[in-house]
Amino acid sequence: MFYKLVLFVSLLTFSCTPRLATPSTSATSSEDTEPDSAIAEARGSLDTFITKITTPHPNQTFVAVKVSFTPPGESPQDIWVDEVTYTNGVFHGNMGDDIPSLRLEAGEKVTINEEDIVDWMIVEDGKLVGGYTIRLAVQRMSPEERERFLETLDYTIED
C-alpha cells in the first residue's frame, strides 16, 4: 500500500497537469501539441493495454489508467485509477485521489468509460509499459527534477 501511495504522489506531482486542448481539438502552430500527441498515442494503443491486463505477465506489478473526470462547471481533472480490470468490455478500478465535487474518494471503486481514458501504464519486469504522459512529463523536467523523480520509482522508464 505504501508503494502505491508513493507512486501516486509522484505521478500526481509530475504528470497530472491540465491539458491545453482535447485530442479532437485542432491546434494552431503556437499551441503545445505534445500533450495531445501523448494522449492520442495512449488511446491508440488501448488494445495493447487490454491484452496485457487480460492475460497478465507473471511479473506485472502495477496497472493503472489516467482518467479525465469533469465535475459540473469545472475544468477536467486527470486522475490515475489503479487496480484496473477489463471484463465484458468494461473497465473498473480504484480512484487514486479525491474529487469532492463528484463525491469520489481515493480508493473508491469506479467504472471507467473508454473515451475518458487519457493514458495507461503497466509496470512489468520492473519497467514502465505505456505511460505516455509520464514519459512526456519526465522529458520536460530539468535534469535535477528528473533525477529526483526517477529516484522515487521502483521501476525504470526506457525509450
Q: What is the largest CA-CA distance in the chain?
A: 45
Please name the amino acid found at residue 80: W
Q: Is residue 67 part of a domain?
A: yes
**What would the mean pLDDT of 9-36 be, rounded to a whole number?**
54
Q: What pLDDT digit, counting tens, does each position of 74-92 carry?
A: 999 999 999 999 999 999 9
How many beta carbons lie within 10 A of that of residue 32, not counting itself? 12
**What would the mean pLDDT of 93-115 be, rounded to a whole number?**
95
Instruction: For residues 56 and 97, give the distance between their C-alpha atoms in angstroms, rounded to a whole number.
Output: 25
Domain, as residue range, for 7:
2-16+40-143
Per the CB < 8 A criterion, the answer to whether 96 and 79 are in contact is: yes
**What would the mean pLDDT of 47-74 be, rounded to a whole number?**
94
Lookup result for grid cell 503497466: 122
Burial of 95 (0-12, 13-18, 19+ CB in 10 A): buried
**What would the mean pLDDT of 96-123 be, rounded to a whole number?**
96
Q: Is residue 29 part of a domain?
A: no
Q: Is residue 50 part of a domain?
A: yes
Structural domains of the chain, count:
1
The pLDDT of residue 30:
58
Alpha helix positions (H), 61-142:
132-140
Provide the whole-model pTM: 0.81
The pLDDT of residue 31:
86
13-17, 49-53, 135-139, 148-152: which has the minimum mean pLDDT?
13-17
**What would the mean pLDDT of 93-103 be, rounded to a whole number?**
94
- Phi first, then psi: give them for residue 73, nearest 5 degrees: 75, 10
Instruction: For residues 131 and 119, give the distance between their C-alpha atoms in angstroms, rounded to a whole number.
Output: 6
The pLDDT of residue 6:
40
